[in-house]
Structure 1
Amino acid sequence: MSLFSKDPGSVRSKTGFWPNNRGTIIGVSVLAVVILIVPFTASSSLMNIAVFSMIFALPAIGLSLLMGLAGQVSLGQAAFFAIGAYTHAILLQKFEMPGPVAAVGGVVAAMLAALLVGLPMLRLRGHYLALATLGLGFIVMIAVREWEFTGRTTGIYGYGRPEVFGIPIDNNGLFFWFVAPFVLIGLVLALNLTRSRAGRALSAVNDSELAAESLGVNTYALRVKVFTLSAGFAGLGGVFYAYQVQIVSPQVAEFHVSVELLLMVVIGGLGSVWGAIAGAFIVELLSEGLRDLIPAIIPGATGEVQLIGYGLVLILVIILLPGGLYQVVRTSWAAIRRRMGSRPADAGAEADAASEASGAASAPDAPDAPDAPRVPAVSTPMAAGEPILEVIGLTKRYGGVVAVDDVSFTVPAGRIMGLIGPNGAGKTTCFNMITGAISPTTGTVTFLGEEVQGRKPHVGAVRGLTRTFQNLQSFSSTDVVGNVYMGRYRKGRAGIIRGMLGLQGREQYRHEEIARDILDSMRLGDVADLAAGDLPFGRQRMMEVCRALASEPALLLLDEPMAGLSGGERELLAALLRALRDAGLTIVLVEHDVEQVLSLADTVAVLDDGVLIAHGEPEAVRADSAVIVAYLGTDAEEAEHELKELEEHA
């Protein structure tokens, strides 16, 4: 099968619709033609810049995947670049290994180093990870400078240029062609990854890590894999660097190299693989210019003073052009298409598309008397009535505050259990402990016979425990169908390797079709291709329910799903929940609309100040004096009196 993945065509990436196969082929073909022409037309100085642009494009592509896709800021990409270069040079010079073997060794060494340091470091987040990778860069730089095996400050040298089919690669034109095929292949692999199941999952993690994990995404493992892959790209760039300069010294691991790579990604546009290649060329041009400009402005300035120029450029790009060149290209292309009067290629990038989205979002709500919705596929791993979820002694303390106190209940399979209580009663905290979002202080949560308390949300999710959220957790970087598609994550099998090779087209297409069917059943088919953030609040709620149903859960936990819904949407959702219960799905429902819960639920549990005060059938709970006290704020005698009055009026 082709390296170019077959794409469904309508699901967006972080920056717009997923690019289709045709666009990738055209873009790569144009770049290949340019690569063929450059050595015949460029001057010697420009040719030198072009060669180093190709070399640094590889680590820039890796860093673009890490920062733009995985959302991890790394200031240590130069460390892996240096590890690849040093390993390659050492294997060539000291062990006299064949060039291909030495090259593979350099890439593998960089990836192994990334795996070893990534396992602990990627548990960090944000600026902590950036500082940790910065420290890694300094460690590698000092190690190669002080270690005799790496030649100390002299470095490794004495090996020759490579040969291809007996032809020595002894000039910049040939070396440019030597590197270019690897850049093109790396470009295609990276583009495929951004469209793949793993790429979409990483994009979702950037939007809402908790929501992604609740759909079965092991975010930590995925980030480690992308971190390691990014280092592989850097190591390969280091291999070509070692060949080009024919000497590897500690300068290759210095901080300014990481700054250059970061600048390439930012100038090109975060999340854009194409932008990384363009950014590499621009930064190499900038680097040559700064070598002449800085000494002219600051007499005698050399070395790291050049970083001043990089810093100024980086600041200006972030302030004036936060989306980089990719944003300029998208905006310009959208303007051209709009001026030509045709449909925009990227709806998310244009004001017209935003207007259309707002119009569609303002479309009439679901009808007041909707037909019964079609029921999506339901997973029923247990016979009706058997305990699918057992909560025993669940307690959560925050210092001296007890949010949930010794709560125990059992949820039978094939039933709807309502969990109600006044504001601040501990309902969402219970949900969070059951799903793994937070760890309980004490107590156990057993799902399908396995204890899941204190474990990450993806552990329960892969077994069929799925939830929605009180505060919307939509994936804003994609459209509505892309959100629901993510619900299919645990049903997919394609990993990073299959995604990069484009070997998952059928799986993607099948899951997207299922996602669209679910949206149609919930009257959201007309907005499937709109950006999720363009929908009104109520329809985003419905979308989140669709996303949860797409995972075919065994147990569905809904945290205030009717908040913000119109009357017609409430009826539609209530009809769906009844149909799902009849089909065998188990549901736990938290909702402020007590009457709606009592009309839907088979059993109801009531929390008040973190304590379970009632649990039973709806009518029994309705008549419980402790429940009336909790909701009305009266004492027990007044509650009894009000209850008698209600019974007399009834």
Structure 2
Amino acid sequence: MTTATSRVPSIRMPLGSSRWRRWVPFLVLTIALVVFPLVASTSMVNVGVYALIYGLAAIGLSLLMGLAGQVSLGHAAFFAVGGYTQALLVTKAEWPMWPAAVVSTLAAMAVALLVGLPLLRLRGHFLALATLGLGIIVTVVVRELDITGGTSGLYGIPKPEFGGRLYNSAQEYFWLLAPFVVVGLLLATNLVRSRTGRALGAVNDSEVAAECLGVDTFALRLRVFVLAAGYAGLAGVFYAHWLAVVSPEAAGFELSVEMLLMVVLGGLGTVWGAVTGAVAVSAMDEGARDLISAIIPGASGEVQLIAFGVVLVLVIILVPGGLAQLWQQATGRLRGFSAARGAHSTRSEREGAAPAAAPAALGGLLLGADLPERGSALLTVRHLTKQYGGVTALAQLELDVGAGEIVALIGPNGAGKTTAFNMISGVLPPTSGTVTLRGREVQGQRPHVAASLGATRTFQNLQVFGSTTVLGNVKVARHLRSRAGLLRGMAGLARSEERAIDTAAREALDALGLSEHADRPVADLPFGMQRQVEIARALALGPALVMLDEPMAGLSGPERTGLSRLLREASAAGVAVLIVEHDVEAVLALADRVAVLDDGHLIAMGSPDEIRNDPAVIAAYLGVAAEDESLVRQAAARVEGEVTS
């Protein structure tokens, strides 16, 4: 998720202050990791070693589940791939530890790439079951192969050597692991704040809206799946050297459940929660072994697995946000207490404040957009048809939209307007017909393809990204206008690009008069403002074609006037506007041309004045009597002939 800074000068932090504040948790963590082995008992340090190993794997799983929204029940499979590859390289091939560790981590990522290509086309519980099957497959393979040691596994793995020092004690191994966990956590945190992190957070909130802004959801999810496997593979490397043996249990379902519990207990959506959850589960694991053995003598690991399952269910029911939720509630109360002390003065300032600023002009927002020459062909729709079994939702639609033109698509409820939008934007594949954008046929392709050609849309049913702020929503729209990938995002090397994204997003908010709400969670806004955020988001993409599905629904009179002015300004700049709206008089006053649908058929096309006086349109809106149905059919045939000619 993105975190935006306020534009109000009186509360803006100094330039370097937020950056330093971001480093404070890492400094505290580093000090804690250095001091812990000095003050804790040997048994506690042992638990700490396991917590760091599993925490490294949990960071990757947290990215996969919290950021990409993909549930994995077989994360331990990649952990085992890393461990077994490391064991083979250092024991049989006699490789040094560190080159072998690089290859082992890459091996886990390669396996994730191979299995992710088919698996990530699944969704929800289907994907969870598929990853569970992956864990079972890896367990069976390493158990049956002689090269992996069968049921006994591979043993004799040496302790690490680094800087002329042998790390053979719990204390030293803890200190060896600590930098990898801190750096891994830092890289993951950077990723969450990056262009890739924003896009994946948007996908998690609304995949269709993210796709319509140019986000290739499958490619992004695949990258994070591979990255998560890399974290797990590296954790498996350290696991193998710590135990000096790696066995089939390293890929077992029990370990996958433990990792899942770490992420859920720590809090989905926060990589810090993964480390916190790993510490909590490792401590609970140690205690559960002693407790279960005392209660049920001779109890096996299956009983412990049941205990983990019970804890997982209780966390989901009682504290769905995990430990991160408890922390946010505690700090929120403290902030609320501090804010309450100055509530009276703040309230007085608000009461005397000036009204919200009027919407600004589009300004330079569209300067970088790739707009075709005004009046040139931009969108061409031919014979577009959608059938659901024996029902035809849209029949043989013919439509042209030129650059800089405002075209309205109107008609009674159920006429097929949104269906047409969905097929043009790629949300739905057509039964037949073609959609051509800037000379390229895009029908049946994913929405990000249309977005890459400069076409985006809003939705009749709001599709805002509820997990982030108003500004964070609009920043996602700049995905296609920026280039920083996963690695640059993790390394924090896209600061200049981030500043450009922030500037463009704020210009879009200025254009809708939403600047003062930039830092508010979008879910806290009323319906009309959320509708405006969607429009600002669409304009922030810098589109050549923007499709607005009932954009005036929920807006006040002044807001409608401001939106109409903004759309005329966009049209004058060369942006084509295709609008679906039930407020007929509003669109007739706005549009250059109007297309009328009724019962899936195009029955009229022309200027607003022509549409006002068209008998077929009047009949469609007033309700067609049985004896007048021929009028609509004749109108549809006439319009189709005019468009084709």
Same fold (TM over 0.5): yes
SS at match of 1:402: strand
* Unmatched 5+ stretches in structure 2: 8-12, 632-645
Encode CA deviations 1:533-575: one digit per residue, 9 max, x unaligned: 1111111111111100000000111111001110000100111
Output the amino acid matched with 1:502: G
User: Runs of at least 4 residues of structure 1 off by over 3 A?
Assistant: 5-11, 340-344, 363-367, 370-376, 378-381, 634-641
Distance in 2, matches of 1:111 and 1:427, equals 45
Please tell me whether residue 606 in structure 1 is matched to residue 587 in structure 2. Answer: no
How far does residue 29 in structure 1 lie from its aligned partner after superposition?
Answer: 0.9
Q: Are 1:375 and 1:576, in contact at CA under 8 Å, matched by a contact in 2?
A: no
Q: Are 1:8 and 1:20, in contact at CA under 8 Å, matched by a contact in 2?
A: no
SS at match of 1:150: coil
Encode CA deviations 1:403-458: one digit per residue, 9 max, x unaligned: 00011111121111111111000000000000000100000000000000000000
**1:644 maps to which residue?**
none
Encode CA deviations 1:225-258: one digit per residue, 9 max, x unaligned: 0000000000000000000000111111111000
**2:38 maps to which residue?**
40
Distance in 1, matches of 2:148 and 2:363, equals 67
How far does residue 6 in structure 1 lie from its aligned partner after superposition?
Answer: 12
**2:643 maps to which residue?**
none
Q: Are 2:85 and 2:104, in contact at CA under 8 Å, matched by a contact in 1?
A: yes
Distance 1:450 1:371, change over 3 A: closer
**2:517 maps to which residue?**
527
Please tell me whether residue 576 in structure 1 is matched to residue 533 in structure 2. Answer: no
Choose which of 588, 610, 619 in structure 1 pairs with 2:578: 588
Distance in 2, matches of 1:438 and 1:298, equals 57
Aligned pairs for 1:501-580 within 5 A: 501-580=491-570
Output the amino acid matched with 1:250: P
**1:349 maps to which residue?**
none
Between 381-390 and 414-423, report the one with greater CA deviation.
381-390
Q: Are 2:435 and 2:441, in contact at CA under 8 Å, matched by a contact in 1?
A: yes
How far does residue 639 in structure 1 lie from its aligned partner after superposition?
Answer: 11
**1:188 maps to which residue?**
186
How far does residue 372 in structure 1 lie from its aligned partner after superposition?
Answer: 6.8
Choose which of 158, 161, 164 in structure 2 pairs with 1:163: 161
**2:319 maps to which residue?**
321
Choose which of 82, 88, 96 in structure 1 pairs with 2:86: 88
Aligned pairs for 1:325-474 within 5 A: 325-341=323-339, 376-377=365-366, 379=369, 381-474=371-464
Distance 1:636 1:583, change over 3 A: farther
Encode CA deviations 1:239-292: one digit per residue, 9 max, x unaligned: 000000001111111110001101111111111111111111111111111111
Distance in 2, matches of 1:364 and 1:536, equals 18
Distance 1:233 1:390, change over 3 A: same
Q: Are 1:365 and 1:568, in contact at CA under 8 Å, matched by a contact in 2?
A: no
Distance in 2, matches of 1:627 and 1:450, equals 32
**2:640 maps to which residue?**
none
Q: Are 2:511 and 2:566, in contact at CA under 8 Å, matched by a contact in 1?
A: no
Distance in 2, matches of 1:299 and 1:139, equals 32
Distance 1:150 1:211, change over 3 A: same
Q: Are 1:84 and 1:234, in contact at CA under 8 Å, matched by a contact in 2?
A: yes
How far does residue 38 in structure 1 lie from its aligned partner after superposition?
Answer: 1.4
Distance in 2, matches of 1:198 and 1:443, equals 35
Distance in 2, matches of 1:396 and 1:634, equals 23
Q: Are 1:434 and 1:445, in contact at CA under 8 Å, matched by a contact in 2?
A: yes
Distance in 1, matches of 2:299 and 2:257, equals 18
Aligned pairs for 1:19-98 within 5 A: 20-98=18-96
How far does residue 20 in structure 1 lie from its aligned partner after superposition?
Answer: 4.3
SS at match of 2:147: helix
How far does residue 299 in structure 1 lie from its aligned partner after superposition?
Answer: 2.9
Distance in 2, matches of 1:535 and 1:421, equals 30
**2:635 maps to which residue?**
none
Encode CA deviations 1:464-495: one digit per residue, 9 max, x unaligned: 00111111111111111111111111101111
Distance 1:429 1:377, change over 3 A: same
Q: Are 1:380 and 1:554, in contact at CA under 8 Å, matched by a contact in 2?
A: yes
Between 371-380 and 456-465, report the one with greater CA deviation.
371-380
SS at match of 1:490: coil
Choose which of 296, 299, 302 in structure 2 pairs with 1:304: 302
Between 238-247 and 150-159, report the one with greater CA deviation.
150-159
* Unmatched 5+ stretches in structure 1: 12-16, 345-351, 642-650
Distance in 2, matches of 1:399 and 1:7, equals 46
SS at match of 1:466: strand
**1:622 maps to which residue?**
612
TM-score (norm 2): 0.92
Between 395-404 and 22-31, report the one with greater CA deviation.
22-31
Distance in 2, matches of 1:26 and 1:319, equals 32
Q: Are 1:7 and 1:21, in contact at CA under 8 Å, matched by a contact in 2?
A: no
How far does residue 215 in structure 1 lie from its aligned partner after superposition?
Answer: 0.3
TM-score (norm 1): 0.91
Name the % identity.
Answer: 55
Distance in 1, matches of 2:339 and 2:548, equals 44
Distance 1:380 1:261, change over 3 A: closer
**1:122 maps to which residue?**
120
Distance 1:554 1:375, change over 3 A: same
Between 314-323 and 73-82, report the one with greater CA deviation.
314-323
How far does residue 365 in structure 1 lie from its aligned partner after superposition?
Answer: 8.5
**1:498 maps to which residue?**
488
How far does residue 381 in structure 1 lie from its aligned partner after superposition?
Answer: 3.2
How far does residue 342 in structure 1 lie from its aligned partner after superposition?
Answer: 7.4
How far does residue 401 in structure 1 lie from its aligned partner after superposition?
Answer: 0.5
Distance in 1, matches of 2:339 and 2:579, equals 48
Distance in 1, matches of 2:158 and 2:533, equals 60
Distance 1:639 1:64, change over 3 A: closer
SS at match of 1:489: coil
Aligned pairs for 1:288-299 within 5 A: 288-299=286-297
SS at match of 1:461: helix
Distance in 1, matches of 2:523 and 2:190, equals 26
Distance 1:115 1:505, change over 3 A: same
Distance in 1, matches of 2:497 and 2:74, equals 36
Q: Are 2:213 and 2:456, in contact at CA under 8 Å, matched by a contact in 1?
A: yes
Please tell me whether residue 480 in structure 1 is matched to residue 478 in structure 2. Answer: no
Encode CA deviations 1:148-187: one digit per residue, 9 max, x unaligned: 1111011111231111111111111111111111111101
Output the amino acid matched with 1:132: A
Computed over aligned residues only, the root mean square deviation of the Cα atoms, in angstroms, reads 2.5
Between 528-537 and 424-433, report the one with greater CA deviation.
528-537
Aligned pairs for 1:225-240 within 5 A: 225-240=223-238
Distance in 1, matches of 2:338 and 2:572, equals 53
How far does residue 315 in structure 1 lie from its aligned partner after superposition?
Answer: 1.4
Output the amino acid matched with 2:455: L
Tell me the matched-pair count: 616
